[in-house]
Amino acid sequence: MTASVDRASIGLRSERGPILGALMLATGLIAIDATILATAVPSIVRDLGSYQQFPWLFSVYLLAQAVSVPIYSRFADTVGRKPIILLGIALFLLGSILCGFAWSMPALIVFRIIQGSAPGPSRRCR
């Protein structure tokens, strides 16, 4: 016995379409951030100096993600997924704006911590 699948119940046209769209947007934000940072590192180091500190741009982001995973998972279970993903997008965008205004490498590193501590799709709860 084969079950037929209605095309309207799959993908962005389904009732879960907005959720899928939001997760795709959040994942896209992180992908764009990683791409921009990876290609802009030579310019960042030239403008801000501190070549020795530039690996911290990647390390603190990943460290902040690793520390915040259990915290936001607990909040998502308690408060709900939607407020947490909205908080994550807002916090990530705030961190991105602050990174754009960074005046020194230590400031940029701190702002990357803000970006990394945002709950995002990399730690979404199912």
Mean pLDDT for 16-20 is 76
CB atoms within 10 A of CB 92: 21
Mean pLDDT for 69-97 is 86
5 lies in a domain?
no
Q: What is the pLDDT of residue 110?
A: 93
8 lies in a domain?
no
35 lies in a domain?
yes
Distance CA 65, CA 16 (A): 26
Q: What is the pLDDT of residue 126?
A: 38
Q: Report residue 37's pLDDT band, with 50, 70 and 90 as the boundaries.
A: confident
Q: What is the pLDDT of residue 122?
A: 46
Domain housing 108: 16-123
The structural domain count of the chain equals 1
Q: What is the pLDDT of residue 98?
A: 93
Residue 126 neighbours by CB under 8 Å, 6+ apart = none
| DSSP category for residue 108 | H
pLDDT tens sequence across 92-122: 889 889 988 999 989 999 999 998 888 765 4
Residue 30 neighbours by CB under 8 Å, 6+ apart = 92, 120, 121, 122
83 lies in a domain?
yes
